[in-house]
Amino acid sequence: MPESPPRALIVIRLSKVTDATTSPERQLAECRAICEKRGYEVVGVAEDLDVSGAVDPFDRKKRPHLARWLHGEHLDDNGEPVPFEVIVVYRVDRLTRSVRHLQKLVAWADDHKKLVVSATEAHFDTSLPFSAVLIALIGTVAEMELAGISERNASAARHNIQAGRYRGSTPPWGYVPSNDTGEWRLVRDKEQADVINEVARRVIEGEPLQKIAHDLTRRGILTPKDNFAKQRGREIKGREWSVTQLKRSLLSEAMLGHAVSGGAAVRNDDGSPVVRSEPILSREIYDRVAAELSSRAKRGEPNKRTSSLLLGVISCGNPCLHKQQGHECPEGCSGTCDEPVYKFNGGSHSQFPRYRCRTMTRAYKCGNRTIRADQADAQVERTILALLGSSERLERVWDAGEDHSAELADINDELVDLTSQLGVGAFRAGTPQRAKLDARIASLAERQAQLSSEAVVPAGWKLLPTGELFGDWWSRQDLTARNVWLRSMGVRARFKRDDKTLYIDLGNLNDLISGLKPGGTAQRVRGGLQAMERNGIQGMVFSDADSEVMPAPAAGYMWIQPVEGVWVYTSEALLAAAAERQALRREKIEDEFAYGPGDFDEDWD
């Protein structure tokens, strides 16, 4: 019975650095030719395209077709691994360009009684004597070539980035590749840019990234990868937006039109950023977004599981450990526990969720008990709505402004250039070209006069009325949005169970009303605070304490008690100035009053 011919597996690989001399068709043809010459029966072809020579041949993920054969996962009709005795390649570097990976593959072949044969390198044949030495030498050369390819690719990439050229990867959010100029570059995509500017506005207004990401996914807004796949006519996988992706994209300097590599801006030799395209966001908006996201990182942005209005807002107001033990507070201690307060279900003895101090889960417990969450939430909401509920919300709208400085500068330069040609050579008076030159100069001069007369309107945010009261807006918001607003406005609360007291600190009133047209209580409170500021009043304390008990005033300041139980902290200079203004107003009234004191008849009717 004749002996069966050796069964061969043909291996083909093509890297990202394409080469016509090693195309898949040419590799297959050369391998089939040597199989026919040596009498091998071809049982399969493991073709891995767009795979780097640095990849391990056994890597199932990065080199799936060859790895399946090597791991015995390529099965026949009976469910058994397809047997083969010979691995045939066009050239050794089609297996791998790594000496380590090549030695690993050859050792595996030796252990499994398989030969490795090169179709174009007669000396590469594991059946030959001294094959191990030859394989090591050939592998070293292949690895050196891989290093050379990598360096050439890196050098070309650096050159292309410096020149602002597009290199073929997924473009940054907001850009699409274009070859309109005969050279591949990234250009601003209006549809994506509009979405980015919308997202930037929502971030600046305090909307959580999680909520924005869900909204973009719900609306079917494509992610950068899916958008790129759509442009190339490939399958759209329907990827969802994530907080991490949104944040990374918004903070990338690609938003400013800068070239970015490895997450960092590419710089010129002088340190300036390489500008690759028209910006998506203005520098001002980019900085505002970055500042807002940075502040969120510090205060902690709630996630989609937030189920508490006062999470990150309320803290423990019990005395600190030093005071409880009768010690003096060290520097930096506020005198209160100040530990964060968390919501829990209330335990077996309560049907209401409650807030409690974090120390309740530690060995040391500050002693503060709990407070009903619904009552604390309601008290904070009542306070906020009593102050701001009747104020009108304002909407932040970006005004692109109007600035023709760049166009005017171009016109000025062109006029200087054109007028320098008057009366020279072909542009002598009376020639047809002179007439065209004069017409061009007249047209530019007219445009110059028009632009010079127009005032520059700087770009910036404008607050426009919405007709919606803050109270109505608040009722429309979910728990997460309300919590974000309280945090962003600096609202804080502390509870002390023994006193049955919830202390609420509203922070800076100017911050609270920054996006509102004050009305009702907010308007009256702001007017009162402005009057206090005009009169040098720095603060007010409601207390029955004597003057000796009040903290010592700083130089130039003093405590006064206008009415019982109220102490006012004021600047001596500003108070004196306010008194002088009052005296002047009094004198003016007396001068304008027609009748002096005592001129009235007591019996007049």
**More reliable by pLDDT, 428 or 477:** 477
128 exposure class (CB count in 10 Å sphere: 0-12, 13-18, 19+): middle
Classify domain 7-151 at the CATH topology level: Rossmann fold (3.40.50)
Alpha-carbon Rg for the chain in angstroms = 39
SS3 breakdown of the chain: % helix, strand, coil, rounded to 5?
A: 45, 20, 40
Q: Which of 54, 38, 60, 35 is nearest to 93 (CA)?
A: 54
Q: What is the DSSP letter of 35?
A: H
Locate the domains of the chain by residue range.
7-151, 175-299, 312-398+464-524, 402-457, 535-594
CA dist 605 and 113 (Å) reads 131
How many residues comprise the chain? 605
198 exposure class (CB count in 10 Å sphere: 0-12, 13-18, 19+): middle
End-to-end CA distance of the chain: 147
**pLDDT score recorded for residue 600:** 37
Which residue type is seen at 572?
A: E
**pLDDT score recorded for residue 406:** 72
- Interval 352-379 mean pLDDT: 82
Total Cβ atoms within 10 A of residue 543: 12
**pLDDT score recorded for residue 233:** 79
For residues 376 and 310, is the Cβ–Cβ distance under 8 A?
yes
Interval 439-497: pLDDT, tens: 888 888 998 898 888 887 776 667 888 899 999 999 998 888 888 888 878 888 888 87
CA dist 392 and 394 (Å) reads 6
Interval 27-85: pLDDT, tens: 899 999 999 999 999 999 999 988 888 889 999 998 999 999 999 998 888 888 999 99
For residues 310 and 480, is the Cβ–Cβ distance under 8 A?
no
Helices (H) and strands (E) in the chain, counts: 18, 20
Q: Of the ranges 286-295, 391-400, 546-555, 587-596, which one carries the lowest mean pLDDT score?
A: 587-596
**More reliable by pLDDT, 349 or 570:** 570
Q: Of the ranges 158-162, 194-198, 221-225, 356-360, which one carries the lowest mean pLDDT score?
A: 158-162
pLDDT above 80 (res 227): yes
| CA angle centred on 387, ends 386 and 388, rounded to 5° | 100
Instruction: Provide the whole-model pTM.
Output: 0.44
Q: What is the DSSP letter of 353?
A: -
**More reliable by pLDDT, 141 or 491:** 491
Total Cβ atoms within 10 A of residue 204: 17
**pLDDT score recorded for residue 66:** 94
**pLDDT score recorded for residue 156:** 45
For residues 246 and 209, is the Cβ–Cβ distance under 8 A?
yes
**pLDDT class of 149 with cuts at 50, 70, 90:** very low
**More reliable by pLDDT, 588 or 221:** 221
